[in-house]
Amino acid sequence: MKIMRTFLVTLVLIFLGLKTLKGDDTIGGSLFLDYYKETCPLAEEIVAREVEIAVLKDPRMAASLLRLHFHDCFVMGCDASVLLDNYGDIVSEKLAVPNLNSIRGFEVIDKIKYILEEACPYTVSCADILTIAARDSVALRGGPRWEVWLGRRDSLKASFAGANQFIPAPNFTLQALIASFKQQGLDIGDLIALSGSHTVGKARCTSFRQRVYQLSLQEEHDVYRKYKTFRRILRSICPSSGRDNQLAPLDFATPARFDNHYFINLLEGKGLLGSDNALVWEDDEGEVVQQVWAYATNQELFFESFANSMVKMGNINVLTGVEGEIRKNCRFVN
């Protein structure tokens, strides 16, 4: 009887286009490996190709697509709500303070979705596209590659208020960061590992001005003036007023490569954002600093932790089964 039940369950999963169960092939009882194996077998290859083309045209796009996934997952979960435009009763998350004139990459997702709709109509969700694109973006810049768990469905709504409330700000204190990640079911280890995404990409002057002109206790007592040169560089890029959209790399050492240099920067007081330096300057217990040292001296350890935390983040409040929908156009509900 037990064998018969297992056989029937397997048949149902195949019929639904999921996959034959082999060992532990689900995460959180909701997402699956090779989810599109039967229904859209080239889905991941299509995403990978288009992401590679986009990053070759604009290297910064890798960081942008990674950030897009992050900003999506922290608001109602990984449900592609961040991609929705204003329409009807929907107020777009794109207009929220953390996103306005900041997040980018929507056209890349649009193109991927168009190609996937031609190949496999109403099959691959926008939420899964964001997840795959984030993984491929990291790998393209020299970072780790991990297996993505798929089967997300797309939200029928957006949360403008949630985007303003839940996305961590660039001037957050360590305690505020810990609390923000805890709200999403992520712990301090996830916070440290995922902060390593700042090894690529750029930030606007408005995001790091406070860090430059409101000195921390460490900088005020900079007896050996080891932070002075870096502050001078940042002030030349970002004056005390104006030039809000001027960009600076989050990692001045290896700005185009996904590596562990972000953590080396932190130990040298060269984090671009206030929230970056908070990881080491506000850690009274020493737990965070210890982990920063570990990643600064062991890139493979960082890569492994980052991949694990990305999988964990990608499972935040996902919609599966009959929840939500598979959008035809990522910008609008069907």
Q: pTM for this structure?
A: 0.88
> Residues comprising the binding site for Ca(2+)?
72, 75, 77, 79, 81, 93, 199, 251, 254, 259
Q: Convert the pLDDT of each residue in 16-35 to its tens digit.
A: 443 333 334 656 558 999 99
Q: Convert the pLDDT of each residue in 90-100 to its tens digit.
A: 999 999 999 99
Residues 6+ apart with CB under 8 A from 74: 166, 167, 168, 180, 184, 316
Question: 């491929």: which residue's tokens?
Answer: 136
Please say whether the beta carbons of 153 and 88 come within 8 A.
no
Q: Convert the pLDDT of each residue in 249-296 to its tens digit.
A: 999 999 999 999 999 999 998 999 999 999 998 988 889 999 999 999
Active site residues: 71
CB atoms within 10 A of CB 191: 20
Q: How far is it between the farthest Cα atoms of the chain? A: 76
